[in-house]
A and B are shown apart, each in its own frame.
Chain A
Amino acid sequence: MIKSLDKSVIEIVLNKRDDFDNFRYKLEIAFSQICNKTKKKLLIIATELIQNNIIHNNSNPCKLKIFNKDRFLILEMAQTTDKNKIEIIKKIINSINCLDENSLKEKYRNNIINCQGNNVGNGLILCRLKSENPIMLSFKRCTDADRYQLRITIKITNYDK
């Protein structure tokens, strides 16, 4: 079913305000050839990652890349961020990666019930649940010492292959 991804790479670049306002349309168009079940997972993960960037990273330009590798669909989100945010993201991802499915679901529920305000903190938990694989994080320093190039990689087990 996911013929369009067998040989090609989907790349979505979000640069300006309008891109962030209408990112869902861009995703729908980019994923239109993908089978429903996989498309839904990609939409959920991409939406949460993009909105994390909007909320926590001042809508800095970001690039989303999706491609096939072995039995996985790989979704890579690249963005630049401040040095001080790297440790926070690293800590959050490590804490999520060490939880099993039931613990993740329980944490997700608890966050819904107990969190106040807009920052529920469930975006990356949902990404991890949907991908069924650990979330990977890599980063390197930009020429500006206080900025880092951050890459979040999410592997989705591709049951359609």
Chain B
Amino acid sequence: MINKMPATAKTPEVNIDNQNGKIELSGVIIPENPMIFFGQLELIIEECKLSSEKLNFDFKLDYFNTGAARYLYDMFKKLKDHPKCNVNWYYEPDDEDIYESGIEFQQLSGLNFSFIKK
């Protein structure tokens, strides 16, 4: 089943395909309290894990604030233990910030990212 969490002014659109273990985030993550959004995302990930042995993430982010950065790091660290997790990190060719953040998350979490130009 394909589900969608619509974007808000401070959270990204999340597209979920449980059957195929696909989760796509696009937009910005700038809530003042990131715990709420990342709590929901954690539930989505757990549901996906029940339906599919693979987990495929597409991150198409324009920006995330410093509060969200810590939650993204926590999430990637947890995902590192998943045997079949794939992270696609999309970036605009002129957006060094998003590209370098992806590199940093990869290094800090130990999870392998695929970097894809938009």
Taking Cβ atoms with an 8 Å cutoff, the residues of A that contact B are: 21-22, 24-25, 36-37, 40, 43-44, 47-48, 51, 54-55, 109, 111-113, 115, 118, 120, 122-123, 125-126
Contacts and interface: CB of A to CB of B under 8 A. Distances in A.
Interface string B44-65: 0000000000000000000101
A48 B63 CA distance: 12
Given A24-B10, A36-B94, A109-B104, A126 B66 contact: yes
Contacts of A112: 69-70, 73, 108
Contact of A115 (B10, B32, B70, B95): B70
Contacts of A51: 30, 32, 65, 67
Contacts, number: 52
A120 B67 contact: yes
A109 B108 contact: yes
Contacts of B9: 21-22, 24-25
B16 interface: no
B116 interface: no
Contacts of B104: 109
Interface of B: 9-10, 28, 30, 32-35, 63, 65-67, 69-70, 73, 94-95, 97, 104, 108
Nearest to A121: B66
A104 to B, nearest CB: 13
B95 A54 contact: no
Contact of A43 (B35, B63, B94): B63
Contacts of A109: 104, 108
B94 A37 contact: yes
Contact of A55 (B32, B35, B63, B69): B32
Contacts of A126: 66
Given A36-B94, A40-B97, A109-B104, A118 B35 contact: yes
B94 A24 contact: no
A113 B63 CA distance: 20
A118 B34 contact: yes
Contacts of B94: 36-37
8 contacts: A47-B30, A51-B65, A51-B67, A118-B33, A120-B67, A120-B69, A122-B69, A125-B66
Given A55-B32, A122-B66, A123-B66, A44 B97 contact: yes
A47 B63 CA distance: 10
Contacts of B97: 40, 44
A125 to B, nearest CB: 8
